[in-house]
Structure formats: C-alpha cells, structure tokens
Amino acid sequence: MPRPLLPTDPARRALMQRVRQRRTRPEDLVAAGLRERGLHYRRNVKALPGSPDFANRRRGWAIFVNGCFWHHHKGCKRGTIPQRNRPFWVDKFAANRRRDATKIRALRRAGLRVVVIWECEALDPRRLAQHLAVLANGRSAPWPKG
C-alpha cells in the first residue's frame, strides 16, 4: 500500500510517526490472519507482477492490501475525494485504480488467484476471515511461467 511521504519538518514528522504507530497497520492484520491459518507467505513479492503485498507462488495466490483513500475504495467512508484540487485527485485516483487493475490482470495471466483486501476490510475481523478463507480452501497451483 503506498504511503504518503513524511513531512520534512522534524517535529511534524515525529508527530505523524507516533500517529501511525498508534494503530495496527492493515498489512500487519492480514499477516497475522495468514499466520493464524497456517498460510505461508512472502511480503512485497517483487518477483511477481505488481509486487503484491503478500503472495505464495507455490500455492498460486497473491494479495493486495489497498488503502481506501489512495486506491479510492468506492462506497467506503475512507474513499473520499478532497474538495481542494478536486480535479487533481479525481485524475490521481483514476490512475491508481487503472494501475491496480493492470497488476491484477498480469497476475491472473500468470495463473495466480488475486485477492484484494481493502484497508477497512482488514480492520474488520469478519471480512478479513472471509477473504482468507478463500485462500485456505484453494487448491495449489503450478509455479507460474514467466
């Protein structure tokens, strides 16, 4: 999940780092859920198209954990469009979503099942469990060809 750059002002930067540490990041909740279910994974798998946040190539799956704001989760309260510079944000979110779709297609072509877990879903244990159950029940897939 792309994160905004930290500000350069040291005081502001320290404040933002504290804020970030206060709550568990969605990726960490997904990682914990995978471990609980005995699903082995690698994180930030650069060898696969789109560097998925989690993947198990032997089992044939990949996971993207998408921030609701940056990836513009439609119908989600976190998927807002800032009123300031609205055209800029509309373009930016459209570009992010196009890039997400391209990554997913590339992984599917490589034979992987792709699960997108939104930030708000990672924070909801029931929704997270539903996503992870799909992986736990899946059959193993052959190693994807280049």
Sheet holding 54-56, edge to edge: 42-43, 54-56, 61-66, 113-118
Q: Which is nearer to Zn ion, 1 or 76 (CB)?
A: 76
User: Given the rule CB under 5 A, which of 45-53, 80-88, 94-102, 112-120 is the region that contacts Zn ion?
Assistant: 112-120
Give the shortest CB-76-to-Zn ion separation in angstroms: 3
How many Cβ atoms are within 10 Å of 59's Cβ, its own excluded? 18
Give the shortest CB-133-to-Zn ion separation in angstroms: 20
Asked if residue 48 lies in contact with residue 55, where contact means CB atoms within 8 angstroms, the answer is yes
118 to each of 14, 69, 84, 146, how far by Cα in Å? 27, 10, 25, 28
Asked if residue 113 lies in contact with residue 131, where contact means CB atoms within 8 angstroms, the answer is no
Give the shortest CB-104-to-Zn ion separation in angstroms: 17
Q: Which is nearer to Zn ion, 53 or 60 (CB)?
A: 53
Q: Which of residues 24-83 bind Zn ion (CB under 5 A)?
A: 68, 73, 76, 78
Q: Which of residues 114-133 bind Zn ion (CB under 5 A)?
A: 118, 120
Residue type, 79: G
Question: Rounded distance, CA 52 to CA 108, Å?
Answer: 12
Q: Which is nearer to Zn ion, 48 or 132 (CB)?
A: 132
> Which residue is closest to Zn ion by CB?
76
User: Given the rule CB under 5 A, which of 21-29, 47-55, 99-107, 110-118 is the region that contacts Zn ion?
Assistant: 110-118
Q: Which is nearer to Zn ion, 48 or 65 (CB)?
A: 65
Query: Computed from CA positions of residues 47, 5, 81, 67, in that sequence, does the dihedral angle turn out positive or negative?
Result: positive
Which positions lie near Zn ion, rule CB under 5 A? 68, 73, 76, 78, 118, 120
